[in-house]
Structure 1
Amino acid sequence: MNLTNALIPQSWLLISLLLFAAVLARALFAAPWSVLKKPGIFNLVLGASVAVLAFWQIKASIHPGLNLHLLGATALTLLFGPWFAILALTLTLVLSTAWDGAWQAFALNGLLMVVLPVTVSWWIYRLVDSKLPNHFFIYVFFNAFFGAGVTIAVMGFAASWTLVLAGAYPLDYLLGNYLPYYLLMAWSEAMTTGMIITVLVVYRPHWVATFDDRHYIDRK
């Protein structure tokens, strides 16, 4: 989903801009910047942002604002934690917006495509970490596979209601022609994220901020 300028009511612009700016300011102050001093981590963050941008460009468009593409938010959240995930996805959104020029919709897109999915992904991770046994397969299945699927489904619902409230499309049209396909995307998002995280925690566990061998493997 990428909202265009024409779909956003003028009354929403300032509110969405203030909210997104507040989240970005919080991320800039809360992000553990010292982590970037570790060899390769800074390049990893930039590379991951560009990789997500590539996923965003592989999309199917139904009508203006009704685009279907992989999101990558759960993978970035597990890789870097919530604050760096927000900053990395914001960089991706900047590059994507520079391509299509929908700057008026930038902040609202940021709330829907950056803040919401990272928040959902992080909540799922924290819930799984606190309620379920610390096991490798639980980490991969629930945090990566299940978490990614739920995250993109939640974003699909949020995007649909946003379009309805904005008066861009009627609810019955979105329920019949948009949301079902978004829910199907949840499977692709889950599979892609699950495979990426599985490969990384096996071969490059030090790249995954939320994974620790001693926590999930060594005690088993």
Structure 2
Amino acid sequence: MPLEPLLALLALAAALAMRPWRMLASARPLVHERHGAPSPLWTPLLATLVILPWAWALPTLHHMPLQLQWSGACLVLLTLGWPLAVPTLLAVGLLAALLSPSLGWGDAVALAVWQGLIPATLAMLLGALVRRLMGRHGFGGARMFVYVLGRCFLGTALCLFASGSLWQAMGHPLPGVGDALSLVARWLMAWGDAVLTGMLCAIFVAFKPQWLATWSDDLYVPKAGTPG
């Protein structure tokens, strides 16, 4: 079996073993509040399934000298959490293949793995490392900035560039450019993704923290009397 389908199956099996549907089981989607409040994660989930397939399919829908690719995987990970992000990103890859006639199923699976699952998994591991370093009281009142700047902004750039570099090292440079220029392009695209992810997560932290499955007031918002 090729590497990408194997990685996709392993990630999907691990994610389903954690029963991610429990995160959405509080109510049906789009139900009026008087009939039971829907899970807040339905909003980022449905937004991902509507918007992200078009972003993934766009480079194959138009002939461009340099195929710029927006991933969005780290944003999906931060909003949905890893168990729910895995099947969502695989679904995004399949929807992208349906939207673009020139994107084959094998290419869609590879895209879902290297532009979706790998950076999302790296972002999850980075988040675990950040939480371990912080403990309960580390960084004092700066813990919110550690989340926004560390996980959402810098973490997104590093995870996406690491995933793209690994994919290129396995023989998949960007079409039409050399290896060195391809790495530069991946670095710049990672920062573009990071700016958007950091900006949206900062807005969500301020106004819609319930849309961030990886956010915790207890962990990132210092309480009165907490040593700083």
Q: Say yes or no: TM over 0.5.
A: yes
Partner residue of 1:104?
A: 106
User: Deviation at 1:57?
Assistant: 4.3
CA contact under 8 A between 2:153 and 2:195: conserved in structure 1?
Answer: yes
CA deviation after TM superposition for structure 1 residue 58, in Å: 4.8
What is the CA-CA distance between 1:122 and the residue it aligns to? 0.6
Q: Cα–Cα, structure 1 residues 182 and 61, in superposed 2: closer, same or farther, change >3 Å?
A: farther
Range with greater deviation from structure 2 (184-193 or 14-23)? 14-23
Q: Secondary structure at the match of 2:84?
A: helix
Supply the distance in 2 between the matched residues of 1:141 and 1:187 (Cα, whole angstroms): 13
Change in 2 beyond 3 A, CA 1:14/1:187: closer
Could you tell which deviates more after superposition, 15-24 or 196-205?
Answer: 15-24
Residue among 171, 174, 180 paired with 1:175: 180
Does 2:136 match 1:131?
A: no
1:157-194 alpha-carbon deviations (Å, 9 max, x no partner): 022112259xx989x92213x22111111221111000
Residue 118 of structure 1: aligned partner: 120
For residues 183 and 159 of structure 1, the distance between their equivalents in structure 2, rounded to whole angstroms, comes to 13
Do the aligned residues in 2 keep the contact of 1:46 with 1:88 (CA within 8 Å)? no
Across the aligned residues of Structure 1 and Structure 2, the Cα RMSD in angstroms comes to 2.6
Q: Does 1:200 align with 2:204?
A: yes
Change (3 A) 1:26 1:79: same
Do the aligned partners of residues 186 and 169 (structure 1) sit closer, same or farther apart at CA in structure 2, a change above 3 Å counting? closer
Mapped to 2, the partners of 1:19 and 1:187 lie a distance apart of: 26
Matched with 2:33 is: none
> What does 1:10-49 correspond to in 2, within 5 Å?
14-38=2-26, 39=38, 40-49=40-49
User: Larger deviation: 68-77 or 18-27?
Assistant: 18-27
Cα displacement string for residues 69-111 of structure 1 (whole angstroms, at most 9, x for unaligned residues):
2211111111111111111111111111122341133333332
Stretches of structure 1 lacking an aligned partner (at least 5 in a row)? 1-12
Tell me the percent identity: 24
1:69 alignment partner AA: Q
Greater displacement, 78-87 / 31-40? 31-40
Q: Using structure 2 for the length normalisation, give the TM-score.
A: 0.77
What secondary structure is seen at the aligned counterpart in 2 of 1:104?
helix
Matches within 5 A, 1:45-60: 45-59=45-59
- Corresponding residue pairs, total: 202
Structure 2 CA distance, aligned partners of 1:130 and 1:218? 16
Residue matched to 1:9: none
Gaps of 5+ in 2: 27-37
Would the alpha carbon gap of residues 103 and 58 (structure 1) be closer, same or farther in structure 2, given more than 3 Å must change? closer
> Displacement of 1:197 after TM fit?
0.5
2:157, 2:48 → 1: CA distance?
19
User: Match of 1:175, as an amino acid?
Assistant: A
For the residues of structure 2 that align with 1:43 and 1:169, how far apart are their CA atoms? 35
Distance 2:87 2:178 in 1: 34
